[in-house]
């Protein structure tokens, strides 16, 4: 019998554990993670394999640190981006949670470099964005870099390993609910774990499982928007006037044709594009290093079209998986196309890619045609966004700019939650982090873990 069982060792689950052991050091806590310890995580594609071997579970997505472990560790220090916490907690309290989590990251070895704090240094960018009908969201960012991010996460793992029980390489099969109260969980090996409180922090890779568990237990859910788009790769010099001051610029655009929201996400100056495997479906992402020796000549970022569908649609994850699977069907994995070829209605070929001024950092991506994959509405919105970005960073809409598909963000349909992030229908069940549909980034995921830990400790 445990006081707390935590599902998932991403930032949400880790920060839940860190706060619980601080507030209730005598409590029995177990954390279950379907992947490996941080030092045993590996991606064969990044280590020389020509094509993704589709490991199960994916070493990039699963394991201590979650999907963000191999990202470049961008900690966004504002409540305005990165999640929905202000739907549950007042703005000032979210600010305080973010500041608290930032201090914890620093205690465990985070760098002290923060971009975008001095607003006076990028007023010209904000003005140019306004003239281009783009909204620049002010978001100071602490950048760790992939290698520093791994160091910080390992420090947290080593700190916790003798204070709580950590179970790696095991999957939670089901939530055990009796008379409207959570009683524990059952693992894939049939083992049952009893707990007074259960915290579900499954990450994006576990979002589909969590949605199905909610439906199985008759829990009402709220559909999140579906985020589908591409990862853009271009010469680093194109974005350097912006990234040198902001590192990551959060830009929002409303496409003139359909009025859909298109946003930049996860900008990686001098970074590389990577492939991820979500239960057999390959998607695309990106990261960058702090180490100068590992920097590339390219910058990449995602363009995501957010669309909230109306009833009777209730399967946002399945929709995203379907779109991504079309790219897999045509390319055998990730598809890449030059922007000029897309506009000309031509499939990119290996020769056209080779003759470009920019070479793809994801070498296993297959040249192809994104118009056969992305729905017209999303594709046109992305094209319009690229032209808008070209006004503030000339060269973005170059014919050589590379577009990788498909990038999808899997957010679970959100259960109805109290302001304490507890299910309104299942007592003592808490849902936090990206996989629960509550947050959309490392910092707010971390903050959601601290918040629910404090709630449990106060009871």
Report yes or no on 129 lying in a domain: no
Report yes or no on 125 lying in a domain: no
Report yes or no on 164 lying in a domain: yes
The reply to whether 75 and 186 lie within a common domain is: yes
Per-residue pLDDT at 207: 87
Share of the chain above pLDDT 70, in %: 98
Provide the number of structural domains found in the chain: 2
Per-residue pLDDT at 196: 98
The reply to whether 279 and 342 lie within a common domain is: yes
The reply to whether 21 and 154 lie within a common domain is: yes
Q: Which of 116-125, 174-183, 450-459 has the lowest mean pLDDT?
A: 116-125
Average pLDDT rounded to a whole number, residues 86-97: 97
| Band of residue 443 on the pLDDT scale cut at 50, 70, 90 | very high
Write down the mean pLDDT value for the chain: 92
The reply to whether 289 and 320 lie within a common domain is: yes
| Band of residue 61 on the pLDDT scale cut at 50, 70, 90 | confident
pLDDT in tens, 254-281: 999 999 999 999 899 999 999 988 878 8
Per-residue pLDDT at 226: 79
Per-residue pLDDT at 412: 63
The reply to whether 243 and 305 lie within a common domain is: yes
pLDDT in tens, 312-357: 777 777 888 899 999 999 999 999 999 999 999 999 999 999 999 9
Per-residue pLDDT at 148: 85
Report yes or no on 200 lying in a domain: yes
| Band of residue 49 on the pLDDT scale cut at 50, 70, 90 | low
pLDDT at 421 over 90: yes
The reply to whether 37 and 93 lie within a common domain is: yes
pLDDT at 45 over 80: no
The reply to whether 76 and 40 lie within a common domain is: yes
Report yes or no on 126 lying in a domain: no
The reply to whether 318 and 451 lie within a common domain is: no
The reply to whether 235 and 180 lie within a common domain is: no
pLDDT at 2 over 80: yes
CB atoms within 10 A of CB 132: 17
Print the SS3 string covering the chain.
CEEEEEECCCHHHHHHHHHHHHHCCCCCEEEEECCCCHHHCCCCCCCCCCCCCCCCCCCCCCCCCHHHCCCCCEEECCCCCCECHHHCCCHHHHHHHHHHHHHHHHHCCCCCCEECCCHHHHHHHHHHHHHCCEEEECCCEEECCHHHHHHHHHHHHHHHCCCCEEEECCCEEEEEEECCEEEEEEECCCCEEEEEEEEECCCHHHHHHHHHHHHHCCCCEECCCEEEEEEEEEEHHHHHHHHHHHCCCEEEEECCCCCCEEEEEEEECCCEEEEEEECCEEEEEEECCCCHHHCCCEEEEEEEEEECCCCCCCCHHHHHHHHHHHHHHHHCCCEEEEHHHHHHCCCCCHHHHHCCCCCCCCCCCEECCHHHCCCHHHHHHHHHHHHHHHHHCCCCCCCCCEEEEEEEECCCCEECECCCCEECCCECEEECCCCCCCECCHHHHHHHHHHHHHHHHHC
Report yes or no on 133 lying in a domain: no
Residue range(s) defining the domain that contains residue 112: 2-120+140-222+412-458
The reply to whether 145 and 279 lie within a common domain is: no
| Band of residue 46 on the pLDDT scale cut at 50, 70, 90 | low
pTM of the model: 0.90
Report yes or no on 131 lying in a domain: no
The reply to whether 267 and 323 lie within a common domain is: yes
The reply to whether 305 and 428 lie within a common domain is: no
- CATH code of the domain containing 182: 3.50.50.60
């Amino acid at each position: 019998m445990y006081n707390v069982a935590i599902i998932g060792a991403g930032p949400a689950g880790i920060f839940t554990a860190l706060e619980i052991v601080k507030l209730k050091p005598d409590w029995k806590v177990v954390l279950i993670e379907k992947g490996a310890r941080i030092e045993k995580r590996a991606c064969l594609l990044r280590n020389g394999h020509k094509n993704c071997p589709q490991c199960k579970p994916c070493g990039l997505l699963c394991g201590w640190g979650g999907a963000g472990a191999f990202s470049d560790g961008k900690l966004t220090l504002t409540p305005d981006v990165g999640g929905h916490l202000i739907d549950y907690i007042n703005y000032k309290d979210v600010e305080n949670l973010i500041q608290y989590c930032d201090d914890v990251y620093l205690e465990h070895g985070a760098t002290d470099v923060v971009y975008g704090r001095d607003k006076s240094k990028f007023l010209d960018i904000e003005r140019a964005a306004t003239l281009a009908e783009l909204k620049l969201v002010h978001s100071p960012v602490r950048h760790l870099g992939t290698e520093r991010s791994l160091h910080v996460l390992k420090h947290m793992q080593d700190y916790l390993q003798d204070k709580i029980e950590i179970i790696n390489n095991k999957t939670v099969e089901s939530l055990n609910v009796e008379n409207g109260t959570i009683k524990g969980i059952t693992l894939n090996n049939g083992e049952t774990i009893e707990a007074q409180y259960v915290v579900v922090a499954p990450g994006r890779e576990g979002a589909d499982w969590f949605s199905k568990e909610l439906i199985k237990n008759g829990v009402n859910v709220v559909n999140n928007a579906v985020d589908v788009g591409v990862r853009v790769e271009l010469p680093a010099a194109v974005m350097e006037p912006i990234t040198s001051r902001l590192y990551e610029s959060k830009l929002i655009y409303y496409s003139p044709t359909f009025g859909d929201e298109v946003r930049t996400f996860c900008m990686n100056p001098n970074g590389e594009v990577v492939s991820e495997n979500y239960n057999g479906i390959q998607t695309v992402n990106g990261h960058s290093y702090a180490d100068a020796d590992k920097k590339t000549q390219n910058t990449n970022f995602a363009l995501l079209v957010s669309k909230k569908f109306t009833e009777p649609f209730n399967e946002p994850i399945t929709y995203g998986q379907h779109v991504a699977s079309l790219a897999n069907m045509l390319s055998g994995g990730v598809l890449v196309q030059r922007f000029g070829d897309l506009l000309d209605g031509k499939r990119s070929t290996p020769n056209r890619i080779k003759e470009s001024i920019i070479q793809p950092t994801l070498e296993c991506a297959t040249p192809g045609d994104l118009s056969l994959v992305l729905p017209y509405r999303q594709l046109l919105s992305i094209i319009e966004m690229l032209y808008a970005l070209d006004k503030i960073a000339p060269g973005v809409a170059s014919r050589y700019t590379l577009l990788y598909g498909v990038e999808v963000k899997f957010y679970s349909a959100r259960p109805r939650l109290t302001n304490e992030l507890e299910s309104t229908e299942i007592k003592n069940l808490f849902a936090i982090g990206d996989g629960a549909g509550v947050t959309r980034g490392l910092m707010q995921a971390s903050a959601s873990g601290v918040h629910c830990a404090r709630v449990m400790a106060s009871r």
